[in-house]
Amino acid sequence: TAPPPDRFNFARHLIEVNAGRAAKTALIDDAGQLSYGQLADQVRRCSAALTALGLLREDRVLLLMHDCSDWVVSFLGALHAGVVPVCVNTLLTAKDYAYMLADSRAQAALVSTALLPTLQTAMSDGKHELKQLIVSRSQAPLPEGAHDWAALVSAATPGTGADTHGDEPAFWLYSSGSTGAPKGTVHTQVNLYWTAELYGKGVLRLQDSDVVFSAAKLFFAYGLGNALSFPLSVGASVVLMAERPTPQACFKRMTEHRPTVFCGAPTGYGGMLAAPDLPPRSAVSLRLCSSAGEALPRDIGERWTAHFGCEIIDGIGSTEMLHIFLSNRPGDVRYGTTGKAVPGYEVQLRDEDGSVITSHNQIGDLYIQGPSAALMYWNNRAKSRDTFQGPWTKSGDKYVRDPDGYYTYAGRNDDMLKVSGIYVSPFEVEATLVQHNAVLEAAVIGKNDDEGLTKTKAFVVLKPGHHATEAELQAFVKEKLAPYKYPRFIEFVSELPKTATGKIQRFKLRELENQ
């Protein structure tokens, strides 16, 4: 892939790439459609409007919106002007937004009407520098001094945009770890280009004939690639959905808009497969699906493919690398593994001493090298140094490579268990438990026995109307894995604690266990 020129602006790049597609549908949201011509026009107007409001190059603007075309136009409009959108999760609390406003020193906020009250609470709670409030799809009278997004954008004269450097800070995403405050992850203009080239085109082979629908929202790095930078880099159409990605909401878009590519997370795939109204293959037009967020259990991949006749391409990415760097490939899917390094990225497994592991079947810490790594975490030198180590980025995940070169997830660094001196991946035990017909979900943590030795404990959610005993599930795991890995304790629960992105919060289970 040819590197982009030094002076590079991703929004201007997309406008250029799609100049010959003015009439083609770019975005379909809950309210209507936008063609590529209309998208380019709105991006250039939005860019000019932000500049006219007094926003300068590198000023940060908070982008707190539900998925819709205004999100895409706001993001690209800011990039076009050289203003830096700070894209935040719509599911957070006012306290979280107060932290992000103060940390980013955002000068303006672009916000959905429904999220305005929470943002206003954040503004009244914390220190902030907001000077402009722009409200998308407002229905009620606006707060004093606030702007209506549509009126502001349509009144502006389209701008030519900023002649940015490709390595200039372009946008932020907040990355949350299991401990500490969220970290503002600073990405450049070219990072969007590289992920679209290497994953969107290189692995998913997106084409302008594709219609892409992502259950993962735009504020996640995964959703941003799936539903913005990848499809718009090839002139495809995108289906955007504001509501929560329940199975029913996803089925509605899959059957109405007939996306050819669907991007989701394992929990979502599992929920859809368990739903009574799962549409038949003939009611959808899927050619390819992608999965990330957590490793995809083999059973889910196999059942999805059996039902819909298309593969799920499972990969792992990170907010820090912007998108997926290790992945299966269309036509070369090994369910239960995360595949191999995406061409353009290099991965390494390192042992506890930091030495590179060259042997097979040995669990190690995953490091990545590639052109889309973030510059740093804002205001956090210590964590930046720990994660961004020269050309290498530490992922915080443990992996194992088999003799054929396929990588399999072995848990987070902080979730790994050592039982009788041997590493046990809680993920491996969970993935086995969910193969049992009665099990919907499972989470495994370490629990100290009476002697203070670590043993595995599984929290299990059963499928509605199903039954299983502790002994039955233990025998099931023993049959499939090395016997020492079976969970010594099983507790049946009605749900598991999860992050907004659907990742199981094992640390919460550990806290409960150790109370």
**Can you give the binding site for ligand 3SK, defined by CB under 6 A?**
221-222, 292-293, 316-319, 323-324
Question: 354 Cβ partners below 8 Å, 6+ apart?
Answer: none
Report the nearest approach of ligand 3SK to the CB of residue 97 (Å). 21
Q: Which is nearer to ligand 3SK, 136 or 188 (CB)?
A: 188
Measured CA to CA, the distance from residue 29 to residue 55 in angstroms comes to 28
Q: Which is nearer to ligand 3SK, 292 or 313 (CB)?
A: 292
**Residue with the CB atom nearest ligand 3SK in the bound state:** 317
Question: Which residue, among 49, 52, 50, 45, has the nearest Cα to 62 in the 3D structure?
Answer: 50
Report the nearest approach of ligand 3SK to the CB of residue 357 (Å). 21
Report the nearest approach of ligand 3SK to the CB of residue 194 (Å). 13
Measured CA to CA, the distance from residue 390 to residue 212 in angstroms comes to 35
Amino acid at 506: R
Q: Which is nearer to ligand 3SK, 475 or 500 (CB)?
A: 500
Are 437 and 465 within 8 A, CB to CB?
no
Percent helix, strand, coil in the chain, to 5, is 35, 25, 40
User: In whole angstroms, how far apart are CA 98 and each of 73, 92, 102, 129, 381?
Assistant: 24, 10, 6, 11, 21
Q: Which residues pair with 165 in a beta bridge?
A: 7
Report the nearest approach of ligand 3SK to the CB of residue 292 (Å). 3
Q: Which is nearer to ligand 3SK, 289 or 316 (CB)?
A: 316
Measured CA to CA, the distance from residue 430 to residue 415 in angstroms comes to 12
Q: Which is nearer to ligand 3SK, 188 or 319 (CB)?
A: 319
Measured CA to CA, the distance from residue 51 to residue 377 in angstroms comes to 26
Report the nearest approach of ligand 3SK to the CB of residue 88 (Å). 15
Q: Which is nearer to ligand 3SK, 169 or 293 (CB)?
A: 293
Report the nearest approach of ligand 3SK to the CB of residue 260 (Å). 20
Query: What is the three-state SS of 356-395?
Result: ECCCCCCCEEEEEECCCCCCEECCCHHHHHHHEECCEEEE
Report the nearest approach of ligand 3SK to the CB of residue 114 (Å). 25
The three-state secondary structure class of 451 is coil
- Tell me the chain's radius of gyration from C-alpha atoms: 23
Question: Which residue, among 167, 114, 150, has the nearest Cα to 5 in the 3D structure?
Answer: 167
58: left (phi over 0), alpha (psi -120 to 50) or beta: left
| DSSP letters spanning 172-197 | EEEE--SSSS-EEEEEEHHHHHHHII
Q: Which is nearer to ligand 3SK, 159 or 293 (CB)?
A: 293
Q: Which is nearer to ligand 3SK, 157 or 179 (CB)?
A: 179
Q: Which is nearer to ligand 3SK, 84 or 265 (CB)?
A: 265
Q: Which is nearer to ligand 3SK, 98 or 203 (CB)?
A: 203
Question: Which residue, among 342, 323, 319, 336, has the nearest Cα to 396 in the 3D structure?
Answer: 319
Report the nearest approach of ligand 3SK to the CB of residue 318 (Å). 5
Q: Which is nearer to ligand 3SK, 293 or 339 (CB)?
A: 293
Measured CA to CA, the distance from residue 305 to residue 295 in angstroms comes to 16
Report the nearest approach of ligand 3SK to the CB of residue 170 (Å). 16
The three-state secondary structure class of 322 is coil
Q: Which residues pair with 63 in a beta bridge?
A: 87, 110
Report the nearest approach of ligand 3SK to the CB of residue 498 (Å). 13
Q: Which is nearer to ligand 3SK, 292 or 439 (CB)?
A: 292
Report the nearest approach of ligand 3SK to the CB of residue 290 (Å). 9
Question: 208 Cβ partners below 8 Å, 6+ apart?
Answer: 21, 24, 234, 235, 236
Report the nearest approach of ligand 3SK to the CB of residue 296 (Å). 10
Amino acid at 464: P
